[in-house]
Amino acid sequence: MVVLSVFAPRLSLMLEPFPGTFQWTRGFTYLQQCEQPFRTDIEPAMHWRLLPPLIAYHFGLTGHSPFVLPWLGAIAATVYVAVLFRRRLDNWRWVAGGTLLFASSSAILVPLHWLGLNDAWVWLGLLAVSFGRARWSLPVACLLCPWVDERFVIGFPLAWLCGLLCGSRRWSVRDLLSGLWLVPYLMTRIIVSLQVPADTANTLGFLQNTASSFAPMAPWVPLAWWMGFRAAWLPLAYATSAVPANQRTITAITLVVTLATTVFLAADLSRSIAILTPLVLFGCFSYATRHPAAAPGLLFKLSLFNLLLPAAHVVYNKFDLISPLPIELIRIIRLGG
């Protein structure tokens, strides 16, 4: 509630369907999928994001009620982050600071502000890959999350490396083979694409459109990345310095490839940078390991600072500043008048 009061959704756009806005663009498609999960006459980017629509269809969610699933994902991911911080240090400022820092990033702001985006379930899955203790956490995440969004597959190598750096994973044959849990998803996509020419054509068309839009979008990348994390870039930067010397090369390569892939495949730049969330948490945990006394107070102050810093959504070359709740309420009153 604190985050939504400071960074409120565009309520004037979300109260009713508003074509032409990125708050609603994917929302329309998502609702169509929830009515018919396997329909093909939708935008290519959404074709394989089947799990949330299937759940909505199975439970008979109609009208705008499927929009509850992204909110449930945001709640689940935020609670899981609080649990992860609680495991590291039993200090309320530490837990509150880490949770607020995460909740005020695009990892949570996007699924709460844009209709029909289930990103938080993907970030939850990547965090389970990095820091999950249960043996079933990684297989379940790998089997389910790619069907929510392909970003899970893109972010998996970096998330796995974060687990290695934190001690959740080891350089063992068993852990190295954990990526095989992604094979069912990858093989299904390959087989279907080979058998359905329309699917291949849609994918190629999507890649061509993305490539053609890269040049005008490129100057906005630094600003978009900043808006995705803002103050959370500090623990992310610390994470890069905390990587052991013998693992810096592979970590740097994985990080660069992950960033390059997200930039090339997605125009919603401030949204996609949230794929680095496991690295942000690794930075926080590394600092707490080295400075357990100072970490709670510093992280809590950093999270408050993140609430004070201006935030915005950056999509392609469009910049949409996020306003506090009172401003959004005034906009609604003016529209009503």
Give the Cα separation of 221 and 315 in Å (integer).
10
The average pLDDT across 80-87 equals 97
Count of CB atoms situated within 10 Å of the CB of 52: 25
Phi, psi of 115 (to 5 degrees): -80, 135
pLDDT tens, position by position, 168-190: 666 666 776 888 899 999 999 88
Q: What is the pLDDT of residues 34-52, one digit of tens each?
A: 999 988 888 877 888 999 9
Residues 6+ positions from 66 with CB-CB distance below 8 Å: 30, 31, 34, 52, 53, 56, 116
Distance CA 303, CA 287 (A): 15
What is the percent of the chain with per-residue pLDDT over 90, rounded to a whole number?
A: 64
The full DSSP string for 138-186 is: HHHHHHHGGGT-THHHHHHHHHHHHHHHHTSS-SSHHHHGGGGGGHHHH
Domain boundaries, the chain: 2-170+219-336
Q: What is the DSSP letter of 324?
A: P
CB 284 within 8 A of CB 303: no
Task: Share the mean pLDDT of the chain.
Answer: 89
pTM equals: 0.92
Provide the pLDDT for residue 330.
87
Q: How many whole angstroms separate alpha carbon 135 and alpha carbon 197?
A: 39
pLDDT digits (tens, 9 = 90+) for 222-240: 999 999 999 999 999 999 9
| Pairing state between β 318-321 and 312-315 | antiparallel
**Phi and psi, residue 170, nearest 5°:** -135, 160
CB atoms under 10 Å from CB of 211, counted, come to 11
